Structures are given as structure tokens and as C-alpha cells.
Structure 1
């Protein structure tokens, strides 16, 4: 039996090439549509990735030891030798700013993850189990009645300054906000017909929470986590600025600004440069959060 021409190796290769050429434009079109549809995700995500890469590869970006003191080089203006100038101890501000990004990112991401996990667990329990709701949420309300920065300062006063303790203090201050968000979502979800059907079928409470409630709380949690990350970075900088955060020996944006405030009127760049980096980072995370909110909210999402 004679084979059709379309089954020949040459024809098959041509078909594969055609499908590959067709798939590539579709991928490009889909990417362009995604960028146009959610520009805040693109801008915020690009900036966040750039800052993360800057922090990771700081040793390879022309930096020196951020803690090295040189009294001969004190308060030098920005120049080709010192791109961002030097502080009152002769330390290179460029190196300190790049290494300081590590502290802010570690604190921001760690607080976002920890607060989201613990807040999610508390919110699920409080929102679904009516008997536990009153007790748990009154405790959360009591914690929220204290301004987060004051609570963090009080917690730091009980411990020694370190990055781990800063993360712990800020996390405790942020958990109630996550738990209230999750509780509100769970209160509406537990009245849905599919939850009633699961209860009628004899499904146990833990399985209902894990299978039916938890997946529907992930979208708002992801969005909230980005705002917590940005807030944690600002709180860490505030704590370090007032001397209640990371030790001065650790380069962080808050410490750099705290050390340069005495010379603000004559050497403003010592405070201005780390402040710009902090502002851009917080702005990038907030833009990413806004974009994720638009993308994950079913009321705002549209078909491409």
C-alpha cells in the first residue's frame, strides 16, 4: 500500500516546523497581552527581581567590606572612587547600601511568610469553629489595639538586637491583621452550599477546612503577604533608625540613615541614598501586590 505524501519524513518535519513557528508567535502574543493587562505586575516584579539579584550578587558589583573603617576617608562626597560617598567612619556607603538590601529583603520575606502561615491557621480556626471565634478574635483585637511599631519596640526591648528578633517582633505585630482577613473570608465560605454538602456527607471538620475552605483563602493571603512584606521593611528601617532594631554593626538601610541623620544638613546623601532604595523597594512590592490583587480577584479578572 502506497504511503500518503503527508506521512513522509519531509512532510512531518515541515509540519513540526510550522507548528513550532505558530506556537512561538502565540506565546509572544500571550506574553504581550499579559504585560499590557497587568503592567503593575510586570513593573513591580521586575524591580523586585532586580533588587533581589542586587542583594545576592552584592560581592561582585564592585563593593568592598561594608564594615571596614577608614578615618582618612570620612564623609567623602560621591565620586568615581566612592559612588555614593562615605559616612562619618569612612565606610563606603555604596557597599553598605547594597549589603543592606539583604537585611530588608530577609526581614520582609520572612515576616510575610511567617505572619501569613500563623495568621492563616488562626483565621481558619476562628472563622469556622464558632466556639473558638469569640476567644481568639478578642485576643487578636487586643493585640491590634496597640500600634504595630510600638508593639515591635516593646518586644525588642525585651530581647537583644538581632535580625531574628526583629523578624519575630514584627511577625507578632502582623499576625492579627492576617487572621482577621482570613476569618472574614472563612465566615462567607462556610455558608456556601458545597460546605453544607460536605457536612451532610459526614466529612470531618479538619478535612472540610483543608479541602474546601483553605484553597479559597490562598488568593487574598498572597496579596496580603505582599503588603506585609512592604510594611515589614518599613518597620525594620524604623526600628533600626531609632536604635531598637538590628545592631549598628550590621549594615541595613535603617542603620545607615540613623548614622547619617546628625550630618543631614551638610551630608544629606548619607540619608537620602538608602531612603531612595528603601522607597523604591517598598513601591515595587506594593505594585506587585496591586497587580496580583487585580489578577486574582475574580470580579476584576477578564479573559485575554
Structure 2
């Protein structure tokens, strides 16, 4: 007697097998044609695992949008003077009030985001690139390591902000000169980090195997050392970006940064410090935006660190 194949309904396997006759064969269940949606709840898991990084990313995106849309969301020209509207309190006409020269603080804060972001991102990129190159050379070349690190130690013995002030004293105030001054002060930090990573990678078995097999040093650096050095350097770059924004505000606050006519958060606070006891809002709003931007960059950096470091993963 030939066996009859009866399709099995989902969830009824045990009942059919128990009641089926001995000579009745039960067909195996068909595979699912439509796989389950793995993407469902992915955003929720991301927020649950890295809430700080998500918040930081949202804040940073808002500041970036504000900087890009400054000509459209700014109410007036940030450099326009209005002596009759001096030190006005926040109102419907001037949302953040006016400064000592009658300039609209809201428009100056909006345009000031451009200065801080340009300087922060530029310093992070330039310092990371220069520090990566110097760190790779120092970590791979033992003879040059001693000389390079003594120079780096000498530069790091000077506080970064003092070094930036000294460099700005030799030049005139401009955004480009501020970027160069802060970059020079931040390069040693990246150099020491990359050198430490290279020294640990250089002792790995796969690097020794590549060297023994006759691979050229440049190829070893390009294929094995450099890719494994990018992750910690990327995290360090976010902290350098936040530090550069604070350094720019400090330089502008003491009059050694960008020109006073350029709307920046440091300049706004420097111009309002004389009246901070009477009109504290002149300093309050740029200080809030500077603090939130620095916080957002640091939160994003923490999220990148957690994502790149397997030991920080919660599902491992």
C-alpha cells in the first residue's frame, strides 16, 4: 500500500503524528517563503543600546542644520549696527536681545555656529592626518622614534591653549590662523596615541609573519598597521573637535582669536562680559549653544568608541 502525503498545518505536528495510522507518512513542513523582518525594532535597539550617542547625533544635526541654513533662519544681518537698539532684552523683534552695539544676538549666534563647526572639524581632520603620519613613522622606525618623541614631549609640556595664544601672537587674527594654531597644539596628542597603537600592533604574529615573508615595510604599514589604527584615531578626532571649539571660544574671548567683527560664540561672550551682571543674556545664549555643541560631539565620540570596541558591546 502506497504512502499518502498529507500536508501538515503549522502548530499541529504533534496531534497529527499521534492520531495518524502507522502506514501514513507525514510530509515535512515547507520552509518559510517570507523570512521574518529583522529590521523591525532596529532603531529601538539602537536607542536602547546607545541613547547618549543618539541624543548627541540629534543635537549635532540640529547645530549643523542651523549653520547651513543661517542665511535663511537668521532674522537680520549679524554685523548690522543699531545704536538705538543697544542692550535690549529678548523680545519678539530680537529673540535673544541685542548687544552693546545694537546687533541682534540671535543672528550672531546662528552665524557663530559656522565658525565653531568649521574650526572644530578642520582642526580634527588636520591634527588627525598629521598625527597619524608622525605616529606611524615613530612607531615603525626605532631610530626616528627617540627624536620624534622628544620633540612631541617638549611640545606637550606647554599647555595647548598657551601654545595657541603664543602662535596667534605671531600672526593676525583670522579663522585660518586659528585653525593652524590649534592644530599645532593638538598634533602631539594624536601622535602619542597612534604611536602606542603601532607599538602594540607591531608585535602581533601576523605582522611578524608579513615581515618574515619579505613584505616591504610600506606594504605592512598600509595593509596591517594603518587599518587597525583608524578606529582609536577616529574616536580621538571627535574629542579634538570638541576641544578645538572650546579653544576657539577661549582665544576669541581674550581677543586672540578671530576678528571681533566676525560673529563667533567666543566674540559674543567677550563683548558681553562687561555687562554680564546687568544683561547676562548676552553671554547666556552663546554659552548654551557652545556647551550643547561640545556635549553633542563628545556623546557622538562615546558612541563611536562603543561601536568600535568589541569589549563595550552589550550583546557579546
Aligned residue for 1:202?
A: 214
Q: Which moved more, 1:245-254 or 1:35-44?
A: 35-44
Q: Which runs of 4+ in 1 moved over 3 A?
A: none
Among 101, 106, 119, the residue aligned to 2:113:
101
Write the distance in 2 (CA, Å) between the matches of 1:293 and 1:86. 41
Determine whether 1:285 maps to 2:283.
Answer: no
User: TM-score under structure 2 normalisation?
Assistant: 0.88
Q: CA deviation at 1:157?
A: 0.5
Change (3 A) 1:241 1:295: same
Question: What's 2:308 paired with?
Answer: 296
> C-alpha displacement at 1:62, in angstroms?
4.3
CA deviations on 1:64-109 (whole Å, 9 max, x unpaired) are 1000001111111000110000001000000000000000000000
Q: How does 1:254-269 map to 2 (within 5 A)?
A: 254-269=266-281
Query: What is the alpha-carbon distance in structure 1 between the residues aligned to residue 304 and residue 163 of structure 2?
Result: 29
Separation (CA, whole Å) in 2 of partners of 1:86 and 1:28: 49
The match for 2:100 is 88
What is the distance in 1 between the residues matched to 2:74 and 2:111? 12
1:249 to 261, 282, 295: 261
Alignment of 1:188-199 (within 5 A): 188-199=200-211
Q: By percentage of residues, which structure has more helix?
A: 1
Q: Secondary structure at the match of 2:224?
A: helix
Q: What is the correspondence of 1:173-252 to structure 2 with a 5 Å cutoff? A: 173-252=185-264
* Structure 1 vs Structure 2 CA RMSD: 1.2
CA distance in 2, matches of 1:125, 1:263: 51
Deviations 1:179-211 (A, max 9, x none): 000000111000000000000111111110110
Offset of 1:301 from its aligned partner? 2.1
The secondary structure found in structure 2 opposite 1:28 is coil
Structure 2 counterparts to residues 108-187 of structure 1, below 5 A: 108-187=120-199
Contact 2:88 2:99 in 1 (8 A): yes
* SS in structure 2 at match of 1:299: helix
Pick the aligned partner of 1:50 from 47, 58, 62: 62
Residues 28-59 of structure 1, C-alpha deviations (whole Å, 9 max, x = no match):
32222122111121111111111000110012
TM-score by length of 1: 0.91
**CA positional deviation for 1:299:** 1.6
Mapped contact 2:268–2:286 kept (Cα < 8 A) = yes
Cα distance per residue 1:231-289 (max 9 Å; x no partner)? 00000000000000000010000000000000111110001110011001001111111
Write the distance in 2 (CA, Å) between the matches of 1:46 and 1:68: 32
Unaligned regions of 5+ residues in structure 2, if any? 1-32
- Counterpart among 86, 92, 101 of residue 74 in structure 1: 86
Query: How far apart in 1 are the matches of 2:212 and 2:303?
Result: 39
Q: Distance in 2 between matches of 1:282 and 1:74?
A: 30
